[in-house]
Amino acid sequence: MKAKINAGLTLSKASLLFGFVFGASLVFANPGETTDPNQTALVEPTAESDLALPRELPELEPLLAHPRTSMVIVEQLRRNHYVTKAINDDLSSVVLDNYLKALDGGRYYFLATDVSEFEAYRYKLDDTLKKGDLDPAFTIFNRFQTRVSERLHYLLALIDGGLETLDFEQDEYIEVDRAAAAWPIDLPAQNELWRRRLKAQVLNMTLGDKTLDEIATTLEKRYRNQLKIAMRNRSEDAFQTFMNAFASSFDPHTQYFSPRSSENFNINMSLSLEGIGAVLQTEEDATSVVRLVPAGPADKSGQIKPSDKIIEVGQGTDGPMIDVVGWRLDDVVELIRGPKGSTVRLTVVSGGAEDKESTVVTIERNTIKLEEQAAQAKVITLQDGTEQRRIGVLQIPTFYADFEAQQRGDRDYRSTTRDARRLISELKQTGIDGLIVDLRSNGGGSLQEADSLTGLFLESGPTVQVKTARRRPSVYKNGSSDLVWDGPMAVMVNRLSASASEIFAGALQDYGRALVIGGQTFGKGTVQTLIPLNRGQLKLTAAKFYRVSGQSTQHQGVIPDIAFPALVDNDDIGESTLDDAMPWDMIKPARFTPFSELQDYIPLLQAKHNQRAVNDPHFIYYESLMERSKARSGRELISLKRTVRENEKADDDAWRLALENQLREATGETPIASLDELDDLEEDAAEEDAPLGEIVEVADDPMLTEAGKILADLITVIRDEPNPTTLASQHEWSHARPTNDALTEG
């Protein structure tokens, strides 16, 4: 079962709208929500005996409001979604598959006989949805509840029989990804699957130096908690899951929010929530990190990264650690959230590392201040032959604007464009030869700001096109001619650069105004709108973004002119990884006048970059990590034999230690004796935040430094080897640069 929700002060992957990134998912109601009428007799067990854990969970039924709400959702999608789809048998088939995947994506719970029984609904769900008949949806959900109860009782019985009965010297395996696996044919086959699943969990914990007694205690508590959580599922959960299976058949960003989820969504959108600043998702039993909010507490800790899995949560510096494997996502979020200044501890396992040890991360909760997310200026100083190049860096974590201050008439309200104008002016005063706009991990924000920011680098003209299904594209135009920087520039992006970031980078690339350097962007090129319903609300995809060249930013994103190694696996994160994502396409280009034709210079710049990268210890390091990650991600089976796993772990640790020491020796640092020593050094070396508002020299960012070298190459090439046929005659790569005396004074 997959779901996404926000775990702090941030816009969640499920909640971002016009001009923002990311999209649809399942978000389950909070356990604190009013109990449904058909569950008033439900009493949570308190005893620790098996007798206190019922084998049959209560049957859920639709609420009185659900049929009408379902019919309204059907009509809204039919009339207002960007994609026109007939509510027919073909769609019904997709909805059934989506629903089964949402409930049992790993194909662990349902039996083949269950799925065969559900086949009777494959071409009927379109008809039942139109009539508000939710019986098929609740039949399937209740069967899922039954299977969950059976599986958890089976695991508890295995633990009760003694974990020492598990034989870790057998050549057994478990599949890494069961999304396309066959459903268990019968109960014995399912028991065998779950025996191996338990064995995998025990082996992982054994490799983490846990004793069998400790493991038995942890797992028994975990499975009992999961049974209690299953008891808390309500009719609203079944309804929301099914309606999202229907909504996601249109596109992955269209989503129904129940009343409770709507409340959570609105809190997220108000940016009023205090927490750690992380976007979380669940997939099967794991809670993993999708994205960190720039300048948020989790981001500042330097100890959490996207794809990490959270397995325990503790309050304060010494509160008990609570195992959250298998928990509902909103329950995990409730544990992680908290008031500003309080402390939360998270036990984290590196993403995709089945046999890695866990790390406890301590984070102080906080609100994220606009000042901390604001644009900042840096400088890269490079030696280019006998010449020194100074490259300015404008780092933009998000596209922001203080709309409240703007609406009340505050002449000094903060915004990305206003701050960027000031910072570029300060950079010019210090003397810079080129400018990099750093949009790495910028998930989007205000479309208006992305549009107006282009006006600092381009004369008036179109910046983005927005097309609805039934209207001609609307062209957003920058009407300003207030150029702040007309010199050479580049834009840095990565896989987590999305939406408004893609619009800005795409516009400057289409105009030939800037080199785009880094990684392929996220590819979120759709626009969502909120529609209030009689019960909850619907987030619906109503439009698509298109670049001035006519290319969509959807699915494909922005392809960099010069690519760097991807530190995030594109197969794990990005629009292309989402089911039923809308395709890339093109419309008629907008009328615009190119600034230059930088494409002619790219082969030479690429060759110069390749010459440096092949010997650059940091790029060698990044490439090695990327290749290792790809090799591991291609594994289909994981061994359940202890000696095999111990050898794999030893090999992985030795490989990582050798790679780290190779980098350290190449950069003049002392080699380390163990990975534990590396962890200690990294923790001790955590830099203090640079003073806000001050221009600082770039340090310890090899990719940004190399981007500066590429831009310096461009400056030299244009100066020494100008090609008049490729540069627009009305533009020159010129800018006001202070004299040497002014530089000294700066």
Full 3-state SS string of 175-201: ECCCCCCCCCCCHHHHHHHHHHHHHHH
Catalytic residue among 524, 539, 544, 709: 524
How far is the first Cα of the chain from the last one, in angstroms, to the nearest whole number? Answer: 57
Give me the pLDDT at residue 435, please: 98
SS3 content of the chain, % helix, strand, coil (to 5): 40, 15, 40
Strand, helix or coil at 41? coil
Residues 6+ apart with CB under 8 A from 266: none
Contact 48, 225 (CB under 8 A): no
- d(Cα 461, Cα 463) in Å, to the nearest integer? 7
SS3 214: helix
Classify each residue of 186-215 as buried b or exposed e, where b means 16 or more C-beta atoms within 10 Å of its C-beta. eeeebeebbbbbbbbbbbbbbbeeeeeeeb
- Give the chain's residues under pLDDT 70: 1-55, 261-274, 283-284, 351-357, 368-372, 480-481, 682-694, 722-746
pLDDT at 247: 96
- SS3 assignment, position 271: coil
Q: Which of 258, 262, 499, 629 is catalytic?
A: 499
| pLDDT tens-digit series, residues 385-411 | 778 899 999 999 888 887 777 778 877
Q: At 111, list the tokens.
A: 């039996």
Q: What angle do CA 393, 397, 398 make, to 5 degrees?
A: 125
pLDDT digits (tens, 9 = 90+) for 189-209: 999 999 999 999 999 999 888
């209690």: which residue's tokens? 228
Pairing of strands 434-438, 387-395: parallel
The answer to whether 227 touches 152, Cβ cutoff 8 Å, is yes
Contacts of 414 (CB under 8 A, 6+ apart): 370, 374, 400, 401, 402, 405
pLDDT at residue 274, as a whole number: 57
Q: Is 130 a catalytic residue?
A: no
Backbone angles phi, psi at 436, to 5 degrees: -110, 125
**Residue 126 DSSP symbol:** H
| Cα Dmax for the chain | 85
Burial class of residue 374 in the structure, from the number of CB atoms within 10 Å of its CB (0-12 exposed, 13-18 middle, 19+ buried): buried
Residue with tokens 């890494």: 176
The DSSP bridge partners found for residue 415 are: 401
User: Which of 285, 308, 510, 616 is flagged as catalytic?
Assistant: 510
Strand order in the sheet with 489-493: 562-563, 515-518, 489-493, 434-438, 387-395, 376-384, 696-697
Active site (annotated) includes residue 510: yes
653, amino acid identity: D
Phi, psi dihedral angles at 468 (to 5 degrees): -95, 170
Q: What is the rounded CA–CA span in Å between residue 250 and residue 80?
A: 11
- Whole-angstrom CA distances from 130 to 74, 134, 246 are 7, 10, 12
> What's the full length of the chain, in residues?
746
What is the Cα–Cα distance from 409 to 81, expressed in whole angstroms? 36
The single-letter code of the amino acid at 30 is: N
- Tokens encoding 608: 């110069």
Q: Tell me which amino acid residue 206 is.
A: T
All domains of the chain in start order, with CATH: 26-33+51-251 (no CATH), 270-364 (2.30.42.10), 371-612+689-745 (3.90.226.10), 622-684 (no CATH)
Gap between the Cα atoms of 480 and 452, Å rounded: 8
